[in-house]
Amino acid sequence: MAIRWSAVKVSEAMDMVEEFVNQAAEPLEQARIVAKAASQIANLPKYMDTRLIGLTAQIERIKDNIKDRIKSVRASIPDGAIKRESGQPPMF
């Protein structure tokens, strides 16, 4: 059964999303490092430390969640759809 949407366009869009995420990876990592360092400030109250630990964990989750969603979108493209759409014979 032929699909009506463009598997190639979806794949290309995910390539673009992944590129933007890769560009954002370094600033996010720097933000995580700064937040973690802030949790080491002398005499920091426990409630602040807890919030900073939560912030560092949230930054990691954001990166991981986006990568997982990209993988999920790619995995949802039917097998061989990109090759069929681009006119290439499927390889078995």
Contact between residue 39 and residue 56 where contact means Cβ atoms under 8 Å apart: yes
Model confidence at 91, pLDDT cuts 50, 70, 90, reads: low
Model confidence at 90, pLDDT cuts 50, 70, 90, reads: low
SS3 5: coil
Q: What is the pLDDT of residues 4-48, one digit of tens each?
A: 899 999 999 999 999 999 999 999 999 999 999 999 999 999 999
Q: What is the pLDDT of residues 53-81, one digit of tens each?
A: 999 999 999 999 999 999 999 999 999 99
pTM of the model: 0.78
Domain coordinates of the chain in residue numbers? Answer: 7-86
Residue 75 tokens, joined: 């995995």
